Amino acid sequence: MNLTPKEIVKYLDQYVIGQNAAKKTIALALRTRYRRMQLDEEMQNEIMPKNILMIGSTGVGKTEISRRLAKMMSVPFIKVEASKYTEVGFVGRDVESMIRDLVVNSISIVKAEREEENKSKIDNYILNKIVEKLLPPLPESASESKKDDYRYLLEAMEKKVESGEMDDKVIELDLAKLNIEFDDSGLPPEMAKVQESFSKVFASINKEDTKKEVSVKDAKSLLRQEAAQKLLDSTSINAEALRRAENGGIIFLDEIDKIALSEKSQGRNDPSKEGVQRDLLPIVEGSSVSTKYGTINTDHILFIAAGAFHVSKPSDLIPELQGRFPLRVELESLTEETLYQILTQTQNSLLKQYVALLGVEGMELIFEDDAVRAIAQLAHRANQNTEDIGARRLHTVLENILEEVSFDANEHKGTTFAITKELVHEKLDEVVEDDDLSRYIL
């Protein structure tokens, strides 16, 4: 993870238009972590991460930024919704479970790396197991010439299995009992341990390996798990994963505004919201959390919180929590021009998605440039006239324009359909101009 801030921003630019302040702040925070890791240990311990609070109204790219970061990152990274947690003692997930989730994520990163490093070993293991089934070994007493023949066959068979030629063949596989992994990251570690011993007991009652008829293709992926479990050292994976989560982990805490207590909605306030905030304090500040894999210290985990703060304000968070998010960035509302760019310049733009989807039906969809301008303009106007829901408005607007074409696209195989400015206006003018109508439709 040694991208420079510029490189990180450039990567994000492919998916998120504008919001430069937020991108810069985040990129810098990530680089700072890298810099810190290059220092000696004493210095490292002194440098605490500066947590970030992103504020911006709905649909302007907060979650999108985090989603893209998650894809890019090779450091432990999870995105969680603050509104999902409940105060300790209440039914639900307590906030410490996010740290456990982070460790689980870290383990999967380290595991994937180790699997990659040991790829040839693992591949060999799988190949041997499969070939053994397809071509049972010769008895010791076989003559030399038979053994020669066998070696020849074996090689040919290995090639066939590798090339996928044998994929449809069915073989009987003895699958060693895999340690069944429960999704128990929500459980406190004491409980997780109890559960673990339970699964051990069950595994020993049901000791013999399970025999299963599977295709060679499926066997390849089934055996991969087994190979990884046999060939990789899980103790060292866990230790490395803990270390990385501790030093490089990032938690993206979305919807943080949903746990703020606003004055406006006083009557409806859920008392446990404040509890969740209080529970968050020690974790954000730095404390030890025990997990199934060992104890992890949260001092150096970076938190990026985000929220729309429509109803509540950052100052409605309890002061101690506010203070733990010293860096504030605001995301801008989307202008007509930004909306246009979101449609035309992002990697995964909605327009490209529609073109690809209708392409499946053999239909070529073309968006004329002034049509796209018109879409941006109308979406922007709808945002101003009713609620500002940011780029999400584009989804509803486009759906309105394309619904009809999309519905019977399969009957127009081989044709080209152009979305023109006229069509856009024809479909939408009336709706956008009428506030009541657009409230329902857009």
Ligand X SMILES: Nc1ncnc2c1ncn2[C@@H]1O[C@H](COP(=O)(O)OP(=O)(O)OP(=O)(O)O)[C@@H](O)[C@H]1O
* Piece in contact with ligand X (CB under 6 A), picked from 45-53, 81-89, 195-203, 384-392: 384-392
Partner that binds at residue 5, options ligand X, Mg ion, none, CB closer than 5 to 8 Å by kind: none
Partner that binds at residue 322, options ligand X, Mg ion, none, CB closer than 5 to 8 Å by kind: none
Q: Does 344 bind Mg ion (CB under 5 A)?
A: no
Partner that binds at residue 242, options ligand X, Mg ion, none, CB closer than 5 to 8 Å by kind: none
Q: Does 189 bind ligand X (CB under 6 A)?
A: no
Distance of alpha carbon 290 from alpha carbon 296, whole angstroms: 6
User: Using CB under 5 A, which of 37, 47, 50, 63 touches Mg ion?
Assistant: 63
Q: Does 18 bind ligand X (CB under 6 A)?
A: yes
User: Using CB under 6 A, which of 12, 29, 30, 60 touches ligand X?
Assistant: 60
Structure tokens at 384: 């101003």
Residues 162-201 that bind Mg ion (CB under 5 A): none
Q: What is the DSSP code string of 235-256? A: HHHHHHHHHHHHHH-EEEEETG
* Residue (of 312, 403, 410) closest to 361 by Cα position: 410
Distance of alpha carbon 329 from alpha carbon 323, whole angstroms: 14
Are 252 and 284 contacting, i.e. CB atoms less than 8 angstroms apart?
A: no
CB crowding 389-402: b at 16 or more within 10 Å, else e:
bbbebbebbbebbb
Local structure of residue 92 (DSSP, 8 states): S
Q: Please, which residue, 17 or 237, has the CB nearer to ligand X?
A: 17
Rg of the chain over Cα atoms, rounded to whole angstroms, equals 28
Question: Which H or E element spans position 215?
Answer: strand 210-215
Q: Taking the mean position of all CA atoms in its chain, how far away is CA 339?
A: 25
Q: Does 83 bind Mg ion (CB under 5 A)?
A: no
Smallest separation (angstroms) from ligand X to the CB of 346: 5
Q: Does 379 bind ligand X (CB under 6 A)?
A: no
Q: Please, which residue, 62 or 244, has the CB nearer to ligand X?
A: 62
Smallest separation (angstroms) from ligand X to the CB of 83: 11
Q: Does 87 bind ligand X (CB under 6 A)?
A: no
User: Using CB under 6 A, which of 130, 379, 390, 442 touches ligand X?
Assistant: 390
Q: Please, which residue, 68 or 129, has the CB nearer to ligand X?
A: 68
Smallest separation (angstroms) from Mg ion to the CB of 329: 15
Are 263 and 316 contacting, i.e. CB atoms less than 8 angstroms apart?
A: yes
* Piece in contact with Mg ion (CB under 5 A), picked from 56-64, 122-130, 284-292, 317-325: 56-64
In the shown chain, the binding pattern of residues 61 to 80 toward ligand X, with x for contact by CB under 6 A and - for none, equals: xxxx----------------
Burial environment of residue 183 by CB neighbours within 10 A (0 to 12, 13 to 18, 19 or more): exposed
Q: Does 53 bind ligand X (CB under 6 A)?
A: no
Question: Which H or E element spans position 330?
Answer: strand 327-330
Structure tokens at 232: 């990789």
Q: Does 22 bind ligand X (CB under 6 A)?
A: no
Residues 332-371 that bind ligand X (CB under 6 A): 342, 346
Distance of alpha carbon 276 from alpha carbon 304, whole angstroms: 17
Distance of alpha carbon 400 from alpha carbon 423, whole angstroms: 11
User: Using CB under 6 A, which of 59, 189, 249, 275 touches ligand X?
Assistant: 59
Nearest to Mg ion by Cβ — which residue?
63
Phi-psi region of 392 (alpha: psi -120 to 50; beta: other; left: phi over 0): alpha
Q: Which residue has the tokens 């051990």?
A: 200
Residues 398-437 that bind ligand X (CB under 6 A): none
**Interacting residues with ligand X (CB under 6 A):** 16-19, 56, 58-64, 308, 342, 346, 390-392
**Interacting residues with Mg ion (CB under 5 A):** 62-63
